Amino acid sequence: MACLTPFFFIFFLSLSLFLSPAFSTNSEGNALHALRSRLSDPTNVLQSWDPTLVNPCTWFHVTCDSNNHVIRLDLGNSNVSGTLGPELGQLKYLQYLELYRNDIGGQIPEELGNLENLVSMDMYDNKFEGRIPKSFAKLKSLRFLRLNNNKLTGSIPRELTTLTGLKVFDVSSNDLCGTIPVDGPFSSFPMESFDNNRLNGPELKGLVPYDFGC
């Protein structure tokens, strides 16, 4: 009996691998549809988001890869408002999350940290509030993170210094406090990226607490 255990393990593993694409496309469509229900859409940019379709790949502003996984969500400058929900975290294959120049508010969901393939997150020019989720430190592929012109508070999570691939980081014009990390990619970001906040200059390890002034 014991010798069968690895067999079953492999069997179920391969089964789940085999079945996963079929499930995930559906769940991605559902996640996007859940997003639609949270957003107010006066100019009908989400009109094509029909949940009865097999997958969301023909929906406007959604792009899939050849396995019908959602890799882009392009809703920049789309006149939508409302909030984001945890279901966005289910878009496991998402590379580009473009929500800039809208009227979206509320907290940035912690679950966005699950988007492990994310390359670019553009949420600038919205009304997001609350903290920058620490979970963003899990976005190992992230190269562009633009959160400027929102109402974000709290400090810049120090955990983001582990994002070695980060090329652009812009949190200007928010209500952030504390000090600015200097490690990792943060050594190369221009000061403009941090303008117009309540930030107290670069981090002075040991001398001043990291979230000094928060």
Partner 1 sequence: MRETFRAMLVLVAVLLFEAAECCSGRNTSFSCIERERDALLKFKLCFHDPSHMLSSWKGNNCCEWIGVGCDKNSGYVVSLQLRGSILDQPYWYFIDDQQPQPQLYLIDDAKEVVSSLLKLRYLEHLDLSNNNFGGNLIPPSFGLMKQLRYLNLSYVQFRGRIPGELGNLTRLQVLDLSQYYYGRLKVDGDIQWISRLSSLQQLDMKGVNLSHASSNLFQVLDMLSSLSWLNTIGQLSKLESIDLFKNQLNGSIPDIIRQLSKLKSIDLSHNQLTGSISDSIGQLSKLESIDFSDNQLTGSILDRIGQLSKLESIDLSENQLTGSISDRIGQLSKLESIDLSDNQLTGSIPDSIGQLSKLESIDLSHNQLTGSIPNSIGQLSKLESIDLSHNQLIGSIPDRIGQLSKLESIDLSLNQLTGSIPDRIGQLSKLESIHLFHNQLSGSLPNSIWQLSKLESINLFENQLNGSIPDSIKQLSNLESIYLSHNQLSGSIPDSIGQLSKLERIYLAHNQLSGSIPDSIGQLSKLESIDLSGNQFGTGFPKWLQLQKTILMVDLSNASISGPLPENIGHMTPMLQGLYLANNFMNGSVPKSLCNLKYLGALDLSNNMLSGSIPNCWRNDQSLNFIDLSSNNLSGLFPSTMARLSSLSVLHLNNNSLHKGLHVALKHFTSLVVLDLGENKFSGNLTSIVGGEIGNHSLKIFRLRKNLVSGDIPLKLCSLSQLQILDLADNNLTGRIPPCFGKFSIMVNATLQLSHDMGNEYWDEAFFTEVLLSRYFEYWNQAPVMEVVKGRYLKYIKTTLVLEISIDLSSNNLIGSIPEELIFLKDLHNLNLSWNHLSGKIPEKIGQMENLESLDFSKNSLSGMIPNSMSSLTKLSYLNLSYNNLSGPIPTGYQLQTLEDPTMYAGNPQLCGALLLKKCSNDTLPSTISNFKGNDEGALKRMWFYIVVMLGFATGFWGVVGTLIFIKNWRYAYFQWMDDVHHWILVVITLKVARFKKMFNGNQDDQ
Q: Among residues 161 and 163, whose Cβ is nearest to partner 1?
A: 163
Pairing of strands 127-130, 39-40: unpaired
The span of 70-78, 107-115, 129-137, 197-205 binding partner 1 (CB under 8 A) equals 70-78
Contacts of 41-47 with C-beta under 8 Å, sequence gap 24+, read: 41/78, 41/79, 41/80, 42/79, 43/78, 43/79, 45/75, 45/78, 45/79, 45/80, 46/80
Q: Is 103 a binder of partner 1 (CB under 8 A)?
A: no
The span of 94-102, 109-117, 177-185, 206-214 binding partner 1 (CB under 8 A) equals 94-102
Q: Among residues 120 and 155, whose Cβ is nearest to partner 1?
A: 120
Q: Among residues 87 and 125, whose Cβ is nearest to partner 1?
A: 125
Binds partner 1 (CB under 8 A): choice among 4, 18, 42, 66? 66
Binds partner 1 (CB under 8 A): choice among 58, 107, 162, 187? 58
Q: Is 5 a binder of partner 1 (CB under 8 A)?
A: no
Binds partner 1 (CB under 8 A): choice among 35, 70, 94, 98? 98
Residues numbered 115-154 forming contacts with partner 1, rule: CB under 8 A: 120, 122, 144
Q: What does the H/E/C string look like for the chain?
A: CCCHHHHHHHHHHHHHHHHHHHHHHHHHHHHHHHHHHHEECCCCCCCCCCCCCCCHHHCCCEEECCCCCEEEEECCCCCCEEECCHHHHHCCCCCEEECCCCEEEEECCHHHHHCCCCCEEECCCCEEEECCCHHHHHCCCCCEEECCCCEECCECCHHHHHCCCCCEEECCCCCCEEEECCCHHHHCCCHHHHCCCEEEEECCCCCCCCCCCC
Q: Among residues 14 and 48, whose Cβ is nearest to partner 1?
A: 48
Binds partner 1 (CB under 8 A): choice among 59, 128, 136, 186? 59
Q: Among residues 57 and 208, whose Cβ is nearest to partner 1?
A: 57
Least distance (Å) between residue 25 CB and partner 1: 13
Name the residues that contact partner 1, by CB under 8 A.
47-48, 50, 52-53, 57-61, 63-64, 66, 72, 74, 76-78, 96, 98, 100-101, 120, 122, 144
